[in-house]
Amino acid sequence: MDDKALAELLDKQAIFELVRTERFWRDQGEWEKLAGAYVEDSWIRTTWFEGNGRDFTDASREMAQRGRHSKHPIAPIWARINGDRALVESNAEIQNRSIIEGIEVDTVQYCRFFSRVRRTPDGWRLSASRGSTQRTRSLPPTPPISCRSTGTRCASCARRIASGPT
């Protein structure tokens, strides 16, 4: 491997790590690290927010303080580097638990993220990020199970069914 190919491989690794850890820091409430993932003039657009990285960090913190938490497993799959800038495409999920009309549900949004990154003196940083939801799936965390004997939800039947066939 020549020096140019090695440099590009190392840049891609650093860029992919940035994309993964930016969402991880949000999920973990690492607000200063999250804010540091963006260049000053960044632009972030999600289903619920549009603005710069600092404001996105503040809005995410406020959401978490209200009890709204989610997980964002993200897998960068492609990057095109052009000098000190790059474009990254990632597959991702947004996972959360909600109450909808009195029913607890687990929701998974399957998404694609497009990120623009820029090399700075401190390393690669996000200059733009935009998510696009492909589809959403909502299910009860534990499907309601009725007891054959009583017709009501029965904890012992639910445990037996959840453990699978014997």
Q: Which domain holds residue 69?
A: 3-162
CB atoms within 10 A of CB 42: 21
Name the residue among 131, 95, 133 with its Cα closest to residue 115.
131
Indicate whether 154 pLDDT > 70: no
Residue 18's CATH number: 3.10.450.50
Tally of structural domains, the chain: 1
Indicate whether 161 pLDDT > 50: no
pLDDT one-digit tens code per residue, 83-102? 999 999 999 999 998 888 88
- pTM listed for this prediction: 0.80
